[in-house]
Structures are given as C-alpha cells and as structure tokens.
Structure 1
Amino acid sequence: MLATRAVGTDRDAFRWREEGARMQRAHGVGRLSFVRRGADTVIRDCYQEAGLRIRMPRPGPAMPVEAVIINTAGGLTGGDRFSLEIVAGEGTRAVVTGQAAEKVYRSSGGVGSFRTHIVLGEAASLDWLPQEAILFDGSALDRRLDIEMAASAHLLAVESVVFGRLARGESVESAFLFERWRIRRGGRLVYAEGLRFDGPVAARLAARAAGAGAIAAASVVVVSPGAEDLIDATRDRLAGLDATGVEAGASAFDGLVSIRLLSADPFALRRGLVQLLEMLRGPLPRVWSC
C-alpha cells in the first residue's frame, strides 16, 4: 500500500539552475553500520568524509547505541551534496540523530541535496531522528530518504521542515523544496510520499487546502509488526495538540502508522513532536534538548 502526500508544483514559477555559480561547494559522505555482538549492538564500520561527521555519545543504561550526524559546513546551500548510508544488522538496536537543526540558506544557483539510504536486517530496530530543516528565503533543497527493511524489523522515522524562523520575523516568499520518502519492507514498497514546492511558498502555504497559514510541518512513520496497535495511543496524544496550535492526524494500515503535524508556530510543532516521539519511544537523545 502507498501513502501519498499532496504535492504543490509550478514548474514555470521558480526555476533553479543545475549549474550553479562557480563557487566552492560543500560535500559530505557518511557510512555507518551496526552489528550484534552477543547481547550488545556495536559499530562495525564508520566512514566520514569532508563536511559530514559522525559522533557516538556514550549511551545511558539499557539505551540503544546512539550516533549523531554533524554537518561541519554549518548548513546547506545551492550545489552542496551530502549522502549518508546506515546499515543496521540482524538484531541490532540503534538511534541516529542530528546535532542540531539543519539550516538551508539562500541559493546563488543550483540545488543542495541530502540523500539518506537506510537498510535494516531481520529483527533490527532503528530510530531515524534528525532535527528539523530550516529553509531560508530563496533556498533550494532536494532531500530523499530511501529505506529497505526486513519484514521483522522495526523503524521509527521522522523528518520535519520549517519555512523561516518565526522568532526573527523571517518568511520564505520563494524557495524550492523536493522531498521524497520510499520505504520497502520485505522487498515490497509499503510507503511512498513526495512533496514539492517550486516558487511562491508563502502564498501556497497560506491556502486553506495546503497549509492554512502553517510554516512548519513534520512527518512521522512507524513500520513494525503490529504497529497498528499504536494508533489509539497516538491519536490520544495528538488530540491534545489542537489547543497548542498544532494540527495533526494519524492513520494505520498493514504494519504501519503514518502521522502528520502542521503548525503556524515552529516551536509549538517541535514541542508537540517531542511529546509524540517520547510516547512512541521514550526519552529523546540529549541533542534534542539543546
């Protein structure tokens, strides 16, 4: 089954040059794999190149192995290229998160990209918990998440985006954003979604049928045997968010729970997202409290 999100497009309104201005561009490559050693999950391989760094804080008692992804470039802009590959071997338990919100700055030409590819073996459990991407006016980002997982594996994944920093009075009048998820379970495509903004972002988000004035959005997906059993607790948690200015909804099918959150207040959305994730998995990595 496929879960798809509405796509907003206008190809002629806002075109980005694939050949950017001749300026230095950032790039980064990371590869990380986990294996089981006795009762413990350990790092088998950790490769980092250029602007992408991987750090492993010491986990607390009974906590999964934790990896923190760091972009030493301080953000992305047009023409930057980053890629990350994560492999969780059979029976492993791990969480991968980001050091801070990812800032996507105005592009002088070209589109910045971040590709993430995740593989989960039999009975593996992985939480993919990057913090939000903050888009600036005139930014351009292509972000893709591809996941291949065994039928017995457990996945919790989140991606969120903020269009401008409300506290600083910023707005995103025009930008390019293409976001794509693909999740395959047991070799079968079970989840697919795509989101595209190209041009007048603020005007589209203001539309009732799109964002109704929202400037922050998040998607959360749980894929696991029996994941549908989480739907009642999830909806109970989301029901209390309406009073905080966060609109949210959830659906469940075929071992999968899909959750959406929208808000005109990025801080309210983050606070609601934290509450939801803590309900789904327990305490979040310490970097989320910074």
Structure 2
Amino acid sequence: MSATLEHPSAQGWRAQLQLTFARRAGRTRIVERQHRGPLLVQRPFYPEEDVCHAYIVHPPGGVVGGDELALNVDVRDGAHALITTPAAAKFYRSNGRTARQQQLLRSHDTALEWLPQESIFYPEAKVRSTTRIELSAGAKFIGWEIACLGLPARRQQFIAGELHLHLELWVDGTPLLIDRLRIAEGNQWGLGGHEAIGTMVAYPATRAMVDAVRELTPTGVETGVTLVDKTLICRALAAQGEPIKQAFIENWQTLRPQLLDRAATPPRIWAT
C-alpha cells in the first residue's frame, strides 16, 4: 500500500509504516512495505552485500502534540536487517495534546539490529513512546534507545512537560526486560542531574560479551552493564546524548563480531 502525504488534521499527523524483511536470492530484501502518512523508508542499502541497511525517515522533521506514529517491523526467513535513522528524532513543545509513538519489532530466528539516533524531547513536550521487541529463541538482536531531556546546549532544561518512555524485550512470549520511565514537571528522580539517558540491549549474550563491554572506557558518560537471562543490558547517563551514542556505537563494534560473527560496518548515513 502506498499513500500521498496529507495535511494533518486538528488532532495531528497519523503515520504508519509496516516493513517485512526476508532473505531472497542470497540477500535480505524488503518484501513488504506499506506506509500511510509521513513515515517511510529510503531505498535499502547493501554495504555488506547480504545485510539490508534501512533508514527510517519522518519527513516533517519533528513530532508535535497530537501526532501519532506507528512502526511495525517483521524480520523472517533467515534475514538480517539493520535499521537506523538519518537524524535525531525531535519531539517539540506540546500545545496541551500528547504525541504518541508505538514501535513493534519482531525477529523470527533471524538477526535484527535496531540502531536509531537519539530522541530529543523539547521542554514542555508531552510524549508517550513504547518500543516492544519480540524475538524467537533463535533470534539475535542488538539495539538501543537514547533520550535527551531538554536542550542542554541552549541551557533549556526539561522542567515542564511529561514523558512516558517504555522499552520491552520479549523472547518466545516471556518478558526479559520491562522498562518504564516517567518524567513529569521536571521530576527527574534517579538521573543524578544528567540530561540524557540510554539503554542498550543484546540477545543472546554471554559473560565474555559483558566483560568485553566493561573493559571499554567511554568518555563523558557513566555506564553500567548487566547480564540477566542471556540478555546484556547497558544503561548510560550523560550530560548530553552524543557521548551516549558514541559509547553505544563502541559497544556495538565490540559485540557485533561476537554475537553476529560480522565486523561492524557503520551505516553510511552516520557519516553525513
């Protein structure tokens, strides 16, 4: 299904994107692509020959109160997909309405890498965002979410607004990670005064992978790494999002050869 962009209604944009990846003729391809509204994917890239690199694009460039975005990704049939974004996602000040984002990522005995750039939540934004990852026991996954609160470079703190940020990881119907973060009216309890927070997940992980990540020494960021139920979880805090992103990229470069038996090949869009 394809659709032309329409002007937003009084309630805001409604945008949906459905992508299905499958292995065909020796490489991963997008075998199904449906979109409605301003959420789409650029043409697939193949810097690794058989792995499909896909860039999710939101043409308006930012999300406002009343907007609703829905992303559904399904990876199957021996495919290997790497998904990222060309720029940071921006959630602007609300006019009283709530912006909503729902992302469902499924991998069936395949490999999925979810490496979006950071989300920036402007002061007075009102956002509910959920990312749910559903894996089969034979799947392999590396991914992260990075949230930047306010605009630290402009000295604009997130002292008003409301965020509900949810991150879930399920394997064969069993929850391995249920993360709930709520920030309202400047209440950032537990962040130690930091303005950026990130969570990185890798599955299935080993103690050797955890040790390898712990040996890294990122600058400008505080990190903690755990291993529970074969799930590596790295949490990060920093004054801004960039140090977290660089730390997670370094983690990915370390983990990818061990988990996916591939050297890390950064998406080309990261260099632009």
Per the TM superposition, whether the score is higher than 0.5 is yes
Cα distance between partner residues in 1 of 2:159 and 2:85: 27
Aligned residue-pair number: 257
Q: Give the conservation status (yes or no) of the 8 Å contact 1:80–1:113.
A: yes
Report Cα offsets for 1:78-99 as digits up to 9, x if no partner: 1100001000003110111112
Q: Give the conservation status (yes or no) of the 8 Å contact 1:56–1:66.
A: no
Q: Percent identity?
A: 26
Cα distance between partner residues in 2 of 1:47 and 1:260: 34
Cα distance between partner residues in 1 of 2:269 and 2:14: 23
Query: Which of structure 1's runs of 4+ aligned residues deviate more than 4 A?
Result: none
Q: Any residues of structure 2 matched to 1:124-135 within 5 Å, and which?
A: 124-135=110-121
Question: Shift in Å at residue 55 of structure 1?
Answer: 1.0
CA change 1:227–1:83 in 2 (3 A) is farther
The match for 1:213 among 182, 185, 193 is 193
Provide structure 2 residue ranges, at least 5 long, that are not aligned to the other structure: 1-8, 257-263
The DSSP-based 3-state class of the residue aligned with 2:246 is helix
Question: Could you tell me which residue of structure 2 aligns to residue 16 of structure 1?
Answer: none
CA change 1:99–1:246 in 2 (3 A) is same
Report Cα offsets for 1:143-171 as digits up to 9, x if no partner: 10112211010011110011123333322
The match for 1:285 among 242, 267, 270 is 267
Report Cα offsets for 1:42-85 as digits up to 9, x if no partner: 11101111110111342214461011111112111111000010
Question: Shift in Å at residue 38 of structure 1?
Answer: 4.1
Corresponding position: 1:104 with 2:79? no
Corresponding position: 1:142 with 2:128? yes
Cα distance between partner residues in 2 of 1:217 and 1:264: 9
Cα distance between partner residues in 1 of 2:47 and 2:135: 27
Question: Shift in Å at residue 229 of structure 1?
Answer: 3.2
Cα distance between partner residues in 1 of 2:155 and 2:184: 22
Give the letter for the 1:154 counterpart: K
Question: Could you tell me which residue of structure 2 aligns to residue 3 of structure 1?
Answer: none
Question: Shift in Å at residue 249 of structure 1?
Answer: 0.6
Q: Any residues of structure 2 matched to 1:1-290 within 5 Å, and which?
A: 23=10, 25-62=12-49, 64-122=51-109, 124-201=110-187, 204=188, 210-224=190-204, 226-237=205-216, 240-241=217-218, 244-281=219-256, 282-290=264-272
CA change 1:190–1:268 in 2 (3 A) is closer
Cα distance between partner residues in 2 of 1:94 and 1:32: 11
Question: Shift in Å at residue 24 of structure 1?
Answer: 5.2
RMSD: 1.7
Cα distance between partner residues in 1 of 2:168 and 2:242: 28
Q: Give the conservation status (yes or no) of the 8 Å contact 2:126–2:161.
A: yes
Q: Which has the higher contact order (CA 8 A, sep 6+)?
A: 1
Give the letter for the 2:13 counterpart: A
Cα distance between partner residues in 1 of 2:108 and 2:153: 42
Q: Give the conservation status (yes or no) of the 8 Å contact 2:221–2:238.
A: yes
Provide structure 1 residue ranges, at least 5 long, that are not aligned to the other structure: 1-21
TM score, norm. by length of structure 1: 0.83
Cα distance between partner residues in 1 of 2:179 and 2:270: 26
